[in-house]
Amino acid sequence: MSTIRYTKDHEYIRVEGDIGTVGISDYAQAQLGDVVFVDLPAPGKEVAQGAETAVVESVKAASEIYAPVAGSVVEVNARLADNPATVNEAPLGDGWFLKLRIADTAQLDALMTEEQYQDYLKTLG
């Protein structure tokens, strides 16, 4: 069973065991507009919680993607190199950015649940 958590910067992490799949929320991809390029880290890279891990460029802007938790990059979504629009089409599905081996699962407790994230979005008006 997977668990999904969100940051206030609109990243999500879907947790299965000690692996977390990181991407951006549907709200974030809608704010960005059409994604035209994604710069992903190399597998093996160690990232700190809150550290920049990737960059997504759209027709509107470039935005940094921050690690929801600390960990080691175990896989990146290489399909995004040829089809970055997948981020717009399926941000919570095939449009994920990277997978992390989570260093400290306790860091997940500071992130929002789906319900908390939906409530947070309502405050953004």
Question: Is 23 within the bounds of a domain?
Answer: yes
Q: Among all chains, which residue has been given the structure tokens 């759209």?
A: 58
Could you tell me which of 124, 98, 108 has the C-alpha nearest to residue 41? 98
Q: Is 63 in contact with 53 (CB distance < 8 Å)?
A: no
* pTM of the complete model beyond 0.85: yes
3-class DSSP state of 53: strand
**Mean pLDDT by groups of 10 residues along the chain of 125 residues:** 90 97 97 96 97 95 96 98 96 97 96 97 91
Whether 42 maps to a domain, the answer reads: yes
- Alpha helices, H only, the chain: 26-32, 79-82, 86-89, 114-123
Instruction: Decide if 52 is inside a domain.
Output: yes
pLDDT tens string 42-70: 999 999 999 999 999 999 889 999 999 99
Q: How many domains does the chain contain in total? A: 1
**CATH code of the domain in which 80 resides:** 2.40.50.100
Residue 125 located in a structural domain:
no
Domain that holds residue 10: 3-105+112-120
